[in-house]
Structure 1
């Protein structure tokens, strides 16, 4: 295997940073198996486009192809209007005048009653030289008409169809993103000097994405060049890349565990400055990523991460249903459900994990390795 800049990081016990950067290059499931999504596969894989979002995306963006997901209630209406084209081995639907491959997703008994599976349809599968495969393959051909994912049903059928489309990016862009995350990892506070850092910087310059002024403006690094969380502006300590946090033990974060869908989360995760949505523009790019706190990501939800400088330069309350509080130290959603601190942290200020320890909440912080299965 060709070595990459991120698997040569020194001072990386257990290859933790390497594994974190590799993980950032893969898509994660939205709905997982029950939605027909693949997990832990490259971001340049085939994508699933929900029918209700199909008019928002540019299908030409997806070099490995795209398939339209149709729910059973949607299928009932489409079928009534002769909207499906069954070519025998696969299903197609017209999107903006173009025929696109599609599948119908059945997720409940009600779905099966709303739009019974036609007798001449069969489950989605992948074939290589006419032979059905149990896993997706770059050399395979997708055929079939539907997925059956009904809870507690022994008849669930069909192979996973692709990844969450907003997480898609082209292979070369994904590589650039991983190089940039490597660069920011080297710039976390307390990271030992590594001779590979200069090589990583040279790659960013060669790719024309090295821009210190822009990074400071967006809150990705501070005035001293240390990596920071774009939302709260705290410096990111080197060890925080691999520490986990139990939000239920931290004041003000008690509900974050529910929102994150887990008890512990890595303290520092991949962070998108603008949310990944169904649009004609791809969102996972070096210009739109950083390292940031998992809880800041939770508070931000599907909003644009305005930097403190951008907010101050706007001269008015930011758009997208966010507004300042009276002290101009926080932004809050218009319905009041979430707020985050935007107070700039002075140089040398404590990291988030240091704050947790100062508040005698040591049990909230753990090692990433504590949650690793040894099977």
Structure 2
């Protein structure tokens, strides 16, 4: 699916598109891998097994999976191994006991190398692909209370060459979807305002920039990835097929793909790497629904992405509407506009007042 033998994109843009196929960051205190490909080994909490056992109907995870078993459930369930085996889950083969609380660890009272009640060794895994070779994964914070100061516990996938057990299951995407979404996302860049000019400003020759733009858009069209009515419906482009932020619906200038995010005065950091534009999931990531797929990714303002977070666009817009109504009803007056206090007492009146307020000066004219 990837374009071949095309002139290279500006390095910053190339890296930005490539990184959309990677997972979010993770610290050493977490069980997840840090910024790896979205087709890596996935971690599936046992309570989500039925919804997540297949990435797509009839498909398998390309690099396997590890099921995370709650130690309390395993200890309290009289036929735990039999129940798991009926579902194709075997401790030490494709599943581990995942310890998160010190009380759980203390309850088992085992040392590495001891045997579990079923005779299996209490050991840390040696690889991510089945058979993983171990039965325990633990990340437990240290205690600081007076009289009970104990160090943190880290067991399993904690070595330099085996850091992190896998990725969050809802971040997974197949190789095919990674290729398609990267092609789509590059197409959205070329549909943004001033895309050609900015590519030239950042190092491409006019000839190369036009060639890359035209062939990328043609390739995306042939692959069925540029159905404009569908893109408009999911808030990725406007009615003129120009790229917009899925949350605020403002047109995106290609210059913002290269600009570092604005920082608060007096709180700047020299190593800031985020840009004004970032990857935006139209339907939010959530367990049981793989959302890193074609027609669900766009480019949005970094600030808008922070506002939406994991709540999703629809929920966040409803929340914002409630906030506006509440502020208007209270007589709020913007310090940066010519608006005047209002005196309205019901939600219906607040809604009418809200509907009558122009979004900006252009809308007012």
The TM-score range, normalised by the shorter chain, is 0.5 to 0.7
Aligned twin of 1:370: none
Aligned twin of 1:125: 126
Deviations 1:302-327 (A, max 9, x none): 33424xxxxxxxxxxx8996574598
Task: Tell which structure's C-alpha radius of gyration is larger.
Answer: 2
Deviations 1:285-307 (A, max 9, x none): 0111001112212222333424x
> Alignment partner for residue 21 of structure 2, among 16, 25, 28?
25
Shift, 1:109, TM fit: 3.6
Q: Distance in 2 between matches of 1:301 and 1:25?
A: 19
Deviations 1:164-206 (A, max 9, x none): 1111011011100001111111222222253111221222223
The structure-2 alpha-carbon separation of the partners of 1:176 and 1:108, relative to structure 1 and needing over 3 Å to count, comes to same
Q: Work out whether 1:285 is the aligned partner of 2:293.
A: yes
RMSD: 3.8
> Alignment partner for residue 115 of structure 1, among 95, 102, 108?
108
> Alignment partner for residue 156 of structure 1, among 154, 157, 161?
154
CA contact 1:93–1:102 (8 Å) conserved in 2: no
Shift, 1:148, TM fit: 3.1
CA contact 1:48–1:163 (8 Å) conserved in 2: yes
CA contact 1:147–1:157 (8 Å) conserved in 2: yes
Q: Work out whether 1:222 is the aligned partner of 2:238.
A: yes
The structure-2 alpha-carbon separation of the partners of 1:146 and 1:9, relative to structure 1 and needing over 3 Å to count, comes to same
Shift, 1:246, TM fit: 4.8
Aligned twin of 1:181: 185
The structure-2 alpha-carbon separation of the partners of 1:195 and 1:345, relative to structure 1 and needing over 3 Å to count, comes to farther
Q: Structure 1: give runs of 5+ residues left out of the alignment.
A: 86-91, 127-135, 307-317, 331-341, 349-375
Aligned residues: 290
Q: Structure 2: give runs of 5+ residues left out of the alignment.
A: 116-121, 143-150, 158-163, 197-208, 328-356
The structure-2 alpha-carbon separation of the partners of 1:327 and 1:84, relative to structure 1 and needing over 3 Å to count, comes to closer
CA contact 1:6–1:21 (8 Å) conserved in 2: no
Q: In the TM superposition, what are the counterparts of 1:315-330 in structure 2 within 5 Å?
A: 322=319, 324-325=321-322
Q: Distance in 2 between matches of 1:6 and 1:273?
A: 31
Q: Work out whether 1:245 is the aligned partner of 2:245.
A: no
Q: Distance in 2 between matches of 1:205 and 1:191?
A: 18
Deviations 1:8-46 (A, max 9, x none): 444x2xx000001111111124x5433321122211111
CA contact 1:24–1:270 (8 Å) conserved in 2: yes
> Alignment partner for residue 46 of structure 2, among 51, 56, 74?
51
In terms of fraction of residues, the more strand-rich structure is 1
Shift, 1:282, TM fit: 2.0
- SS of the counterpart of 2:50? coil
Q: Work out whether 1:142 is the aligned partner of 2:132.
A: yes
Q: Work out whether 1:78 is the aligned partner of 2:74.
A: yes
| TM-score where L is the length of structure 2 | 0.67
Q: Distance in 2 between matches of 1:80 and 1:143?
A: 24
Aligned twin of 1:366: none
Aligned twin of 1:234: 250
> Alignment partner for residue 84 of structure 2, among 94, 117, 120?
94
Deviations 1:217-251 (A, max 9, x none): 3221223332110110112122211323256559x
Deviations 1:117-168 (A, max 9, x none): 4612101112xxxxxxxxx6x7x84221112334464863322221111110
Q: Distance in 2 between matches of 1:143 and 1:275?
A: 35
